[in-house]
C-alpha cells in the first residue's frame, strides 16, 4: 500500500508541475494588449472616447494580470527565484468597485420575487 501511495503522490506532483508549466507557457505566449488610447482610437475609429478609455484600462489590467501570472508560475517552478517579500500585487487595480443602489433595479427584483412565489 505504501508503494501505491508514493506512486500516486509522484504522479500528482508531476501533473501539478506540468499544469504550472502549461500556465506559464500560455501566459508567455499571450500577446501584450494595446493600452495607448491614440493607437486604440486608430484601431477602432467607430468607438467613442469613453469606450476607448475603458478599453485602455481593461487592457492594462489584462497585461498586469498576465505579468503577475508569469511571475507566480515562474516562482512556483523555480522557488529560488521568488522574491523575499513575495511577488508584488496591485490590489487597488483589481479592487471590487461599488455602485449606488439603483432603486428601479431593486423594485424590479422585489417584483420578480413576488412573481416567483406565486
Express each pLDDT in 9-32 by its tens digit: 999 999 999 999 999 999 999 999
Give the list of residues 6+ apart from residue 36 with CB closer than 8 angstroms, or none: 56
**Torsion, Cα of 38, 56, 51, 104 (10° steps):** -160
Domain that holds residue 93: 2-117
Of the pLDDT bands very low, low, confident and very high (cuts 50, 70, 90), residue 40 is very high
Q: How many domains does the chain have?
A: 1
Distance (Å, whole) CA 106 – CA 115: 14
Q: 72 near 79, Cβ under 8 Å?
A: no
pLDDT value for 98: 72
Distance (Å, whole) CA 55 – CA 45: 13
Its pTM stands at: 0.67
Amino acid at each position: 500500500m505504501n508503494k501505491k501511495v508514493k506512486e500516486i503522490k509522484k504522479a500528482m506532483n508531476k501533473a501539478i508541475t506540468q499544469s504550472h508549466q502549461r500556465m506559464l507557457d500560455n501566459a508567455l505566449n499571450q500577446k501584450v494588449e494595446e493600452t495607448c488610447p491614440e493607437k486604440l482610437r486608430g484601431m477602432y475609429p467607430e468607438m467613442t472616447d469613453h469606450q476607448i478609455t475603458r478599453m485602455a484600462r481593461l487592457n492594462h489590467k489584462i497585461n498586469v494580470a498576465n505579468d503577475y501570472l508569469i511571475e507566480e508560475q515562474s516562482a512556483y517552478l523555480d522557488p529560488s527565484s521568488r522574491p523575499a517579500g513575495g511577488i508584488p500585487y496591485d490590489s487597488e487595480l483589481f479592487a471590487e468597485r461599488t455602485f449606488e443602489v439603483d432603486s428601479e433595479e431593486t423594485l424590479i427584483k422585489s417584483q420578480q420575487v413576488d412573481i416567483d412565489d406565486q
